[in-house]
Every structure is written in structure tokens, then in C-alpha cells.
A and B are shown apart, each in its own frame.
Chain A
Amino acid sequence: MADILQAKGIESGYGNVQVLWGVDLGVPQGSSVVLLGPNGAGKTTLLRTLLGILPLRSGSIRLDGEDLTRVPTERRVRAGLAFMSELGVFPNLSVVDNLYMGGYFLPRGEVGGRMRKMFDLFPDLARLRRSLAGSLSGGQRKMLGVAKTLMSRPKVLAMDEPSAGLSPKYVKEVLETLELAHEEGLSLLIAEQNVLFLEHADYGYVLEGGRIVAQGSAMDLKSDDTVRRAYFGMLAETRPQET
């Protein structure tokens, strides 16, 4: 299937420090792609570069055939690339105001309808619409983060560590939320350390030291030896004796 998001030869970094060294990555239309990697591998840097929050040093970025390499963040979001940062919400703004910000680029007439759609999708948020985002539980906050990015009807949602700082119960909630988003026809690119996300994904990349060191379908990656050692440490030990 054609890649809706296509990044080639991405190099980027902060100041004098180069973090990414020629990263190639694609997100097929309608799929869910996980970007695995330890802390400091460059996952956040990659997402921020794709969004144009960090300047690209070399490489190219295309979304749905449109070249986004040189355009500012605002244009990328308008083109359908949404980003959910690790924080994901504005803690000092209400739930409704957060959703407004997510729908910032929608035509004025569509905002109300889109917001009702989000409240249908996430009834918890409807109940909490006047609350400050900062007062929500960790799981609800991620839910709001997803709803906020969905407001703009993105084609691809890039998420930075949706499970960070969440207890396993909330991680499950987040995964359910993402299933919902996926059913909306959204393509997902999820940067994670938690391999649980690979279970729910179609395809995966492993990023280490700013380079892609492994990739493949979620099934293949799960049985890949390097990945098993790095991310399924526990599972590797209890591996059935097939060799």
C-alpha cells in the first residue's frame, strides 16, 4: 500500500549536536506504525522534525503526495499531519478550549460539529468539558490529547510516548483510545518504549543512536532477535524451546 507519510534521509539535531543520521521511514495509508527505541534514541527529535518544530538539516518529507520539506509547522498541520506531544494538552486551559485549539485550522462553521463528534467518541470528556485539562487523570489527559489532535481531521497522527508516566491500567485506556482513532481511518505513527504498542501495530521501526536499526511488520519485529533482546527481555527468557 502507498505510504501516506514518507520521510527520506532525515538529518536533524539541536545546535551543534546532530541526533538523526539519515532516517528513512514510511507510514502506509490507514496503518498503525510504532517507532521503538530507548531514551535518547532520537524518537522525539524525529517527530518534532517531521512536524517542522525542529529544522530539518537534510532529507525530505511528503504527506499524501504533498512535499512538506520546506513548509512551516502550521502548513504541515493544515495538510493533515497532527502531533501529540508527550504533554499533549494545555494544562491551564479547559477541555473545551483545548479542543478549540486542536480545531484551530478548521473552517469556523465546522468546529462545533467536530467538537460534538469528539464528545460522542469520548463521553468522559463531555462530562468534564469545563474542567481544566491539568485536573484530569493521566488517562483522561491522553484521551483529551487524542481528541484535540483529531479535531483537525488529520490524515496522520504522530504521537510522542502516549504511555509515558501512565500506570498499566491507563496504558490500556490509551490503547483503546487509539483503536477508536484508527477506526476513524487515521494513520498512526507512535513513538514508544513500551512494546505493548507493537501488539496493536501493523509495522514497526527500531531507532537507536539516531539510526533505524531494524524494521518490519509487527509480527516479524516481535520475533527478531535484536528486538527481543532489547525490548522483550523477559519474554526471551521464557521463550519456548524451538531451537
Chain B
Amino acid sequence: MNLLEYALLAGLFYGLYFALVGVGLNLIFGVMRIINLAHGDFLMLGAYGAFYLYHLLGWNPLWAIPIELVVFLLIGLPLYYLLVPRLQKSGDPEMLSFILFFGLSQVIEAAAVFVFSNNQRSIPASVFGGAPINIAGQVFPVSWIVSAAVGLAGIGLIYAYLYHSRPGRATRAIMAERSEAAATGISVNRISALAFGIGIAAAALAGIFSPFMIGAIEPSMGIGITVISFAIIVIGSLGNPIGTLLGGLIYGEALMLMQTYLASWSELLPYVLLILILLVRPTGLLERAVRSA
């Protein structure tokens, strides 16, 4: 019984964190109908950012948050203008986006090996203070609670952006009907570029906490994270960023239950969940049919 309580609570923390891991991928898919296969690689870059700020300057990972949000937003905006408008003029943007972003993923990974080397890196969990926190009779590392809180805050901010800001409303309009948004006079490119930047910044933000939640930082970690993120957003409904919260929670709970009771199988989890959801409910748990994507 104790074990189950522990698994469920840990699953909640992991779930909130993994919602943040997936939300950027979903936002970009929702707005651009493009799967950013380099999603996990941006997360990896965010992780290295936090590592070097800690290692070289002794900065707490929490201080990496504002810096990385700004830096990755500024990387995302020009990257959008460089890649996406050209892609969307092509005959088959969705298929080509796979090739393009897969290529981008490979380039980032190769450059990361070159710059950061293949050595595994980590940030000690003790940066957030030593004593573990006692919740409902169970003891959890502070780093888990912090990661979960940041995950929840990240999703909350994206929700506030989408539902209570002007560019956010325009973003939802583009998600709903791109051509109608253009006809309404919304500058589709500018709003999409913002969404792209926010999606990449969200990935980097999740990356800051990956040493505590996912494991050692290394250049090749990206692809696995992209797969996990993809599973999470398919569960929560593709193209619905807020649905990512549900996908993340289900993934987090499933992961913790697997690690508790069936540890040796837990590596398979994202694939199993992906197959299950595609068999049972291909449009995701939140009812919203995927448009011809």
C-alpha cells in the first residue's frame, strides 16, 4: 500500500514535469502542423545550458530559467523564418518537415558532440538544498518537487498566453483554421514564429530539469526524448497544448507504476502507450479530431 502511494505521488510529480517536456512539441504541431523532430535536441541544449551555468559560474539551475527562456526564444524566431515559410510553400510540407527537422536534429546532435564531447554530465540534486520533503508520509527529493512546480507553472503560462492574451488568441485562431486567420488579417507568420519560439523555449526549460528527472546529460539524449514527447502529446490529443497536461500525467503515472512493479519493462513504456492509444483512441483522450494531417 505504501509502495502504491509512493508510486502515485511520484507519478504526479513526473507527470507535471513530462507535460512540460511535451508541450512545446504540441504547440508547434498545433500551429504549424509540423512535427519538430529536433524537439528533444533543443531540450538537450537547454540541459547543457543549465549544466554550464552551474559548472562554470556556480549558478543555481533556477537562475538558468529566465536566461534560457530568452535565449531560446531568440533562437526560435529566426529559425522559424529560416525554415518554416519555405517549407510551407513546398508541395508536401508535412512530409518534408519530417526530413528537414530530422536533419536539424542530426546536425544539433553532431554539433553537441563536437562542442560538449560525449561525456555524460549531471548537476547534483543537492543544489536545491539537501533535506528531502515529506508529503503524505512519503519522502521525495526536493528536485522532483521543484521540477514538477516548474512544469505546472510552464503549462499554466502557456494556458494564460493562449486564452488570455491577444497573440495567444490569434494563435488559437491559426490552430483552428489557418486560412481563415489570414483572411481575418492576422499576420500568420509573426504569430506562428512566436509559437515556434515559445515551443523551443519550453523544451529548453524542461531541459534545465532533465538531470534530475530524466538522467545524465549527453548529446544523444534528444531522440529518445522526442519519442517520449510524441507519445505524451498523442495521448493528450495532438494539436491541443493544454491536453499535453493529461498526456504528461498519464505518462508520469504509468512510468512510476512500471518502475515500481515492472522495472525492467519501463523503457518500453512510451512505445506501449503510443500503440495502445492509437489502437483505442487515435484522436487522443481529449476529443478533438485531428484534421487531415
Contact = CB atoms under 8 A, between A and B. Distances in A.
B186 interface: yes
Nearest to B190: A74
B166 interface: yes
Contacts of B169: 97, 100-101, 104
A69 B186 CA distance: 18
Contact of B183 (A83, A100, A108): A83
B185 A78 contact: yes
Nearest to A88: B180
Given A97-B169, A104-B166, A104-B170, A53 B176 contact: no
27 contacts: A51-B183, A51-B185, A53-B183, A73-B183, A73-B185, A74-B185, A74-B187, A76-B185, A77-B184, A82-B185, A83-B184, A85-B180, A85-B183, A87-B177, A88-B180, A90-B173, A90-B180, A90-B181, A91-B176, A93-B172, A97-B169, A97-B173, A100-B169, A101-B169, A101-B170, A104-B186, A152-B185
Interface in B68-118: none
Given A51-B185, A74-B185, A87-B177, 20 more contacts: A53-B182, A73-B182, A73-B185, A74-B187, A82-B185, A83-B184, A83-B185, A85-B179, A88-B180, A90-B177, A90-B181, A93-B172, A93-B173, A93-B176, A101-B169, A101-B181, A104-B169, A104-B170, A104-B186, A105-B185
Interface of A: 48, 51, 53, 72-74, 76-78, 82-85, 87-93, 97, 100-102, 104-105, 108, 148, 152
Contacts of A87: 177, 179-180
A78 to B, nearest CB: 7
What is the size category of the interface that chain B forms with chain A? 10 to 19
A53 B181 CA distance: 11
A108 B169 CA distance: 13
Q: Which of B179, B180, B182, B187 has the most CB of A within 10 A?
A: B180
Q: Is the interface of A mostly helix, strand, loop or mixed?
A: mixed
Interface in B167-221: 169-170, 172-173, 175-177, 179-187
Q: Is the interface of B mostly helix, strand, loop or mixed?
A: helix
B179 A101 contact: no
Contacts of A93: 172-173, 176
A100 to B, nearest CB: 6
Contact of A92 (B176, B182, B185, B187): B176
Contacts of B181: 90, 101
A241 to B, nearest CB: 47
6 shortest A-B CB distances, which residue pairs? A77-B185, A92-B176, A90-B176, A85-B183, A74-B187, A101-B173
Interface in B135-193: 166, 169-170, 172-173, 175-177, 179-187
A207 B234 CA distance: 47
A162 to B, nearest CB: 14
A51 B183 CA distance: 8
Contacts of B170: 101, 104
Q: Which of A82, A85, A90, A152 has the most CB of B within 10 A?
A: A90
A101 B87 CA distance: 26
B208 to A, nearest CB: 33
A48 B173 CA distance: 19
Interface in B47-84: none
Nearest to B186: A104
Contact of A91 (B172, B177, B187): B177
Contacts of B166: 104, 108
A72 B187 contact: yes
Q: Which of A73, A87, A101, A104 has the most CB of B within 10 A?
A: A101
A104 B176 contact: no
Contacts of B172: 93, 97
A89 B173 CA distance: 10
Q: Which of A51, A89, A104, A152 has the most CB of B within 10 A?
A: A104
